[in-house]
Chains A and B, each alone.
Chain A
């Protein structure tokens, strides 16, 4: 499973960071940083929650 962000849509709400802090993080400029593009088996539920939490649908998962 891979996680990716559409930078033209991301506005930096940070809800994804709350749901999956090991995968996603807002950096000091509040730009979204993907800490791990490849989602490990034990992180898949968190990744799904993170993607779902984005209010502007900027995150995508490839199963």
Chain B
């Protein structure tokens, strides 16, 4: 059990706390709705209600000064879709929504379901697989790389780039500094290409077309491509990896999903609640204010702890630390909420639901086959390897 003697003692980004952050989150929630963390020089917003309040009010909690935790990246990313407020944000968001809103992606559902079945069919033959290396890191990237329209030669770089972006947003630590060369490589590529380098008709190309039509600045096109690259990979990869891990360690929950397929959307919400892929983004208070009675100063930076909010007993009850696919977790906050709520969440849901369906068709039981290894990253949570054996349905 983590004990907070003074809030400044806590390093949320230590290997220990990244491996298992939940005891630290609980201690922070019990301490106060907002706790000042001296090591990183900002507030942690700890509870569900506070996190929802911050995300829902961009006028008091601005993203325009960056959503990371170091000055270098916060300055460099200003004016991007993540690090902007209205009206600029809404213009950029509009371009993504044209490709990503539920109505825009409706026609993709058949092909994604087919790809999910094909992948699962190939995996079950061997009786076991690494659910990260052979499933989670294969399924979203293979779909997304085509949809965004990346040229073949950069595709092997997408995973390291995505991981690098989330490390680079963190506080200045070893993980952050090691990620900077990856970020430079990503930006070097993105600023060296033209729209015509991306597949015609792809989501990535649409961003450059929007710049040509004058909807957005030409400078915004490469930035939106970076947003796509980062947001489409580690998030769904980690969600899918965590899902298989949870289903392998809670076989009765997988039985429930298989017995009633209408539970699949709720099961995905519960996976996201229980193991939120993105743990942190930040906002800056635009005035003196209070979060549930804790005074915050104008200009103070606040860490929005999505994963702590999603485990908050005050909101999800005494069973908040239990994985239960029958729970109504539809108001979980892993996709964020409000203005900056994940623009790709309809697509992420489509990918995960298709994969859960395909796995439910072919896999009766997942069994852990060895100890899973965690992949540590400053802002996202997931696994490096997850060996499982399966019993075929």
How many pairs, one residue from A and one from B, have CB atoms within 8 Å of each other in the complex? Answer: 38
Q: Which residue of the partner chain A has the closest CB to B90? A: A8
Q: Is A1 located at the chain interface by the 8 A CB criterion? A: no
* B331 pairs with A11, CB closer than 8 A: no
Task: Report the minimal beta-carbon distance from A34 to chain B, rounded to whole angstroms.
Answer: 17
* 16 chain-A/chain-B pairs, Cβ below 8 angstroms: A11-B100, A11-B101, A11-B346, A12-B101, A12-B102, A12-B103, A13-B102, A15-B330, A30-B102, A30-B106, A52-B331, A56-B337, A56-B339, A56-B341, A57-B337, A57-B339
* Set of chain A residues within 8 Å of B330, measured between Cβ atoms: 15, 53
Q: Mark B121-161, 1 if CB is under 8 A from A, else 0.
A: 00000000000000000000000000000000000000000
Q: Is B335 located at the chain interface by the 8 A CB criterion? A: yes
Q: Is B338 located at the chain interface by the 8 A CB criterion? A: yes
* B101 pairs with A55, CB closer than 8 A: no
Q: Is B56 located at the chain interface by the 8 A CB criterion? A: yes
Q: Is B216 located at the chain interface by the 8 A CB criterion? A: no
In the assembled complex, the Cα of A55 lies from the Cα of B90 at a distance in Å of: 15
Q: Which residue of the partner chain A has the closest CB to B103? A: A30
- Residue among A8, A12, A30, A57 making CB contact with B341, cutoff 8 Å: A57
In the assembled complex, the Cα of A29 lies from the Cα of B104 at a distance in Å of: 10
Task: Report the minimal beta-carbon distance from B152 to chain A, rounded to whole angstroms.
Answer: 31
Q: How many residues of A contact B (CB 8 A)?
A: 14
In the assembled complex, the Cα of A15 lies from the Cα of B349 at a distance in Å of: 13
Q: Mark A34-63, 1 if CB is under 8 A from B, else 0.
A: 000000000000000000110111000000
* B345 pairs with A55, CB closer than 8 A: yes
* Set of chain B residues within 8 Å of A56, measured between Cβ atoms: 337-339, 341
Task: Report the minimal beta-carbon distance from B60 to chain A, rounded to whole angstroms.
Answer: 14
In the assembled complex, the Cα of A52 lies from the Cα of B56 at a distance in Å of: 11
- Residue among A29, A52, A53 making CB contact with B103, cutoff 8 Å: A29
Task: Report the minimal beta-carbon distance from B103 to chain A, rounded to whole angstroms.
Answer: 4
* Set of chain B residues within 8 Å of A11, measured between Cβ atoms: 97, 100-102, 343, 346
